């Protein structure tokens, strides 16, 4: 049921007047994004590197008021995030309203968008822009075209194109990234046709101004179905929540090896404060778990990473109905340690030449290890620096330095929990094999090796 204006109250009516329609005044925009020339990264239209540090806020528009959204977005901006991933309309969009009681569509028809609902989306997106955040918008959750058991289809190939054009036009001038899919994999030709129709509609509406990717279900990649589609600017995997030490680096490496080259990242990894394999008796993923998957993915070639928190994506409240065994109120969960530590990954990547970074496991002498002892390495293509993520305190790693440049190396231990970099006392000769053992504190560390002649700043600065 659609609520009339009187049901909103004075504050909501003012919000409608301020925010209704795509033609109203908007905050200054952020730079448009594009794929780098080498096909591996995202850059701004001026060519400045862009590190995707995402957060999954799937039900942002459905469950929060504008004021609550401001609190959430301000917190994430302060923590260094750059992209917020959210459903434009919630799952079961025909029946699930937003916090003001507004449904996304009139008569359950995606060709009849409810202006009041989308005015709220506009307002929240504009708050994000003011805070320097890009919105990774899912037009729908995947149940709209690949329904839950017993559910009904919302999007067809025909309606998807119409709805996509509406969204493309409405958000044409806003800094959004379109994320098609929504935790569902295409299972037949109709599903594929619907996704592609949605992409066509978005492109027609926005004139090709925005990047598009696809969010698959667990342990899958968009590349399986859409790598060859020209609308797919970048690949996205979901390593999911089934196990600790999930080898997401294998999925990233597989996409990195595809041709043509396209950027790739893990768009949904193990969530902080989520039960392992959805079973509380298995324990909950913590900050160490989310750091491992983040560094493994980026060092394997991802252009960025998406963090997630089980309590935040659903905006769980005390006394509310928890999904996936949520247990911490969302405002409190915003401050979980893993969320605050993601900025150190971004800072580390941005402190060295960005667009020439490549994965390189040949830097590791011997086996890279498995489980919680898996080591992953990345370096500058010219060899001016290398980084190795070593996940266990007291773990020894031997590095083959023949691919590194210069005559001497400056070495650092970088703490992914604090962002503090500590220089080793001695410089090291290039060309041979060097052995390093992580400090006893920890558990995890990043070894940074720089060509001493480059005089790079402290890692993460």
Q: What is the pLDDT of residues 249-299, one digit of tens each?
A: 999 999 999 999 999 999 999 999 999 999 999 999 999 999 999 999 999
Q: Flag whether pLDDT at 12 surpasses 50.
A: no
What are the b/e assignments for 333-350, b being 16+ CB within 10 Å?
bbebebbbbbbbbbbbbe
Q: What is the pLDDT of residue 29?
A: 81
Domains and CATH numbers, the chain: 24-350 (3.20.20.80), 357-454 (2.60.40)
> CA 62: distance to chain centroid?
20
Helix (H) or strand (E) segment spanning residue 213: strand 212-215
Q: Flag whether pLDDT at 444 surpasses 60.
A: yes
For 348, 359, 436, the CA distances from 300, given in Å and listed in that order, are 15, 5, 21
Q: How many CB atoms lie within 10 A of CB 254?
A: 16
Overall average pLDDT of the 89-101 stretch: 96
Phi/psi at 223 (5° precision): -65, -25
Q: What is the pLDDT of residue 6?
A: 29
The candidate with the shortest Cα–Cα distance to 416, out of 434, 383, 439, 385, is 439
Beta-carbon-side half-sphere exposure of residue 196 (alpha carbons within 13 Å)? 13
Residue 150 to residue 418: CA distance in whole angstroms: 47
The percentage of the chain sitting over the pLDDT mark of 70, rounded to a whole number, equals 94
DSSP code string of 338-392: HHHHHHHHHHHHHTS--TTEEE-GGGB-S----GGG--EEEEETTSSEEEEEE-S
Interval 129-175: pLDDT, tens: 999 999 999 999 999 999 987 778 999 999 999 999 999 999 999 99
pTM for this model (two decimals): 0.94
DSSP label of 309: B
Q: Flag whether pLDDT at 11 surpasses 60.
A: no
Interval 291-324: pLDDT, tens: 999 999 999 999 999 999 999 999 999 999 999 9
Q: What is the pLDDT of residue 380?
A: 98
Q: Flag whether pLDDT at 449 surpasses 90.
A: yes
């Amino acid at each position: 049921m659609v609520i009339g204006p009187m049901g909103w109250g004075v504050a909501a009516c003012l919000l409608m007047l301020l925010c209704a329609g795509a033609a109203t005044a908007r905050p200054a925009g952020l730079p448009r994004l594009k794929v780098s020339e080498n096909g591996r990264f995202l850059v701004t239209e001026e060519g400045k590197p862009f590190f995707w540090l995402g957060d999954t806020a799937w039900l942002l528009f459905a469950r929060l008021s504008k004021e609550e959204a401001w609190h959430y977005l301000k917190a994430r901006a302060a923590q260094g995030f750059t992209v917020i991933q959210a459903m434009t309309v919630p799952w079961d969009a025909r029946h699930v309203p937003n916090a003001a009681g507004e449904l996304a569509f009139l008569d359950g028809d995606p060709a009849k968008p409810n202006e009041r609902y989308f005015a709220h989306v506009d307002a929240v997106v504009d708050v994000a822009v003011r805070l320097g955040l890009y919105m990774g918008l899912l037009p729908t959750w995947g149940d709209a075209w690949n329904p839950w058991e017993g559910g009904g289809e919302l999007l067809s190939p025909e309606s998807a194109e119409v709805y996509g054009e509406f969204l493309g036009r409405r958000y044409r001038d806003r800094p959004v990234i379109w994320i098609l899919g929504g935790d569902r994999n295409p299972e037949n030709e109709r599903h594929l046709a619907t996704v592609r129709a949605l992409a066509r509609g978005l492109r027609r509406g926005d004139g090709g101004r925005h990047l598009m990717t696809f969010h698959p279900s667990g342990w899958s990649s968009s590349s399986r179905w859409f790598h060859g589609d020209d609308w797919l600017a970048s690949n996205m995997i979901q390593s999911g929540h089934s196990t600790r030490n999930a080898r997401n680096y294998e999925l990233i490496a597989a996409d990195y090896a595809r041709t043509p080259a396209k950027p790739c990242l893990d768009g949904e990894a193990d969530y902080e404060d989520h039960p392992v394999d959805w079973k509380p008796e298995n324990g909950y993923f913590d900050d160490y778990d989310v750091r491992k998957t983040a560094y493994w993915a980026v060092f394997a070639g991802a252009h960025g990473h998406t963090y997630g928190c089980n309590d935040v994506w659903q905006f769980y409240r005390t006394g509310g109905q928890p999904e996936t065994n949520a247990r911490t109120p969302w405002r409190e969960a915003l401050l979980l340690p893993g969320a605050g530590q993601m900025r150190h990954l971004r800072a580390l990547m941005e402190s060295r030449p960005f667009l020439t970074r490549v994965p390189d496991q040949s830097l590791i002498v011997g086996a890279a290890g498995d489980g919680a002892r898996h080591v992953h390495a990345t370096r500058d293509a010219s060899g001016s620096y290398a980084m190795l993520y070593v996940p266990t305190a007291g773990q020894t790693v031997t590095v083959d330095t023949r691919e590194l440049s210069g005559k001497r190396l400056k070495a650092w231990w970088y703490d992914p929990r604090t962002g503090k970099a500590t220089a080793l006392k001695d410089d090291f000769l290039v060309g041979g094999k060097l052995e390093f053992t992580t400090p006893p504190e920890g558990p995890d560390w990043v070894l940074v090796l720089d060509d001493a002649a480059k005089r790079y700043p402290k890692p993460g600065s």
